[in-house]
């Protein structure tokens, strides 16, 4: 029996998730809540500037119904989690992809609805019951974990290289930078914003700013809490970003070939499907639509000293991250029903 999922927020991540799960036998999105005009949602699902046409039929045959390949999905437009009637569609798990209800208290509003057993916050969250970054974690969480954060796209991209480096050599300290594509929170023209740099046009500048990955990585890799600093530079590119990691290690590093083997072996073994490597001299657009969390650029690995290493990894910040949400839902669909004991 497939897992019934409610989706709150049909923005960039939400719409990619609808694509990924449209004919999935293990997971069904049974309801979508978004305050945008329903006809506009249908249009944006059908036509995507980055990912192209929807790979199926999207219609709105009736008020309050979205049909994907003929399968009805309940459509609502409530502005608070506790007001969304998930029970009408039988949703067991809610994915909150709005970016607006990231705190534990706000996200728990979904749990007030009958039948909802667990909430995934697709962002770095304040005080969730559990954090899941696949590759660092196996996806199983305690029955009592009702609000689960999956961190951010950058958290996933940086966590896997950091995990491998720390296990192999021990990390004393690291700086994690992301050269990140433009997101919907940035204005096309100069507009007021509390961050003066982010008030500037996303189309015309590279924009230094902060990233939630600093909190996300500390939660996912608690051993490294207090040892990491993070920054972001937003660039006028539509999709695909990179992480640039510089780490000081406790133990001496091998030569460049040894460092490359560390990532190649992990990508072919325990992190297969989550981590990738590339030997070609590629650029960001070559990784559009890549489902992996991070792809280490092997020629760009540098070893300035016996205890200092630099690793650059590419990631499709939409497609790769949404794939991890889909993976987690599939894991839960194979286990006991979320929030219920497997005993």
Instruction: Give the model confidence (pLDDT) of 236-270 as tens digits.
Output: 999 999 999 999 999 999 999 999 999 999 999 99
Name the 3-class secondary structure at 224. Answer: helix
Structure tokens at 92: 């067991």
Residue range 100-113: average pLDDT?
Answer: 96
Model confidence over 273-304: pLDDT tens digits? 999 999 999 999 999 999 999 999 999 999 99
Is residue 341 pLDDT above 60, yes or no? no
Domains of the chain: 3-122 (3.40.50.720), 153-317 (3.30.360.10)
- Count CA atoms closer than 13 A to 220's CA, side-chain side: 33
Instruction: Answer whether residue 338 shows pLDDT above 70.
Output: no
pLDDT for position 340: 61
Q: What is the pTM of this model?
A: 0.95
Q: Tokens at residue 318, please?
A: 């939409």
3-state helix, strand, coil in the chain (%, to 5): 30, 30, 40
The more confidently predicted of residues 343 and 110 is 110
Band the pLDDT of 1: cuts 50, 70, 90: confident
The predicted model gives 23-44 an average pLDDT of 97
Q: CA 219: distance to chain centroid?
A: 15
Question: What phi and psi, each to the nearest 5 degrees, are found at residue 112?
Answer: -75, -15
pLDDT of res. 260: 99
Q: Annotated active-site positions, please?
A: 153
């Amino acid at each position: 029996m497939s897992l019934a999922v409610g989706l709150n927020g049909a923005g960039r991540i939400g719409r990619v998730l609808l694509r990924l799960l449209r004919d999935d036998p293990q997971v069904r999105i049974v309801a979508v809540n978004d305050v945008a005009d329903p006809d506009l949602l249908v249009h944006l699902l059908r036509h995507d500037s980055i990912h192209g046409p929807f790979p199926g039929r999207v219609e709105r045959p009736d008020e309050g119904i979205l049909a994907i390949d003929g399968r009805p999905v309940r459509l609502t437009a409530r502005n608070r989690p506790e007001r969304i009637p998930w029970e009408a569609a039988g949703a067991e798990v809610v994915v909150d992809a709005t970016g607006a209800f990231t705190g534990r208290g706000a996200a728990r509003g979904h749990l007030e609805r009958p039948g909802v057993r667990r909430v995934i916050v697709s962002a770095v969250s304040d005080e969730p019951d559990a954090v899941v970054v696949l590759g660092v974690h196996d996806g199983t969480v305690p029955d009592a974990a009702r609000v689960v954060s999956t961190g951010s796209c950058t958290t996933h991209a940086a966590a896997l290289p950091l995990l491998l480096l720390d296990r192999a050599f021990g990390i004393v300290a690291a700086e994690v930078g992301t050269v990140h594509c433009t997101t919907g929170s940035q204005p096309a023209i100069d507009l007021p914003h509390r961050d003066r740099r982010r008030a500037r046009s996303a189309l015309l500048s590279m924009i230094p700013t902060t990233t939630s990955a600093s909190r996300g990585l500390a939660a996912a890799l608690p051993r490294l809490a207090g040892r990491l600093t993070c920054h972001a530079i937003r660039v006028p590119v539509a999709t695909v970003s990179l992480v640039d990691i510089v780490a000081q290690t406790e133990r001496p590093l091998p030569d460049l070939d040894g460092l490359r083997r560390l990532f190649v072996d992990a990508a072919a073994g325990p992190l297969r499907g989550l981590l990738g490597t590339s030997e070609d001299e590629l650029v960001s657009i070559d990784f559009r639509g890549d489902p992996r969390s991070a792809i280490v650029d092997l020629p760009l690995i540098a070893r300035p000293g016996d205890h200092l290493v630099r690793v650059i990894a590419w990631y499709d910040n939409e497609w790769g991250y949404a794939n991890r949400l889909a993976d987690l839902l599939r894991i839960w669909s194979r286990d006991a029903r979320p929030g219920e004991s497997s005993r």
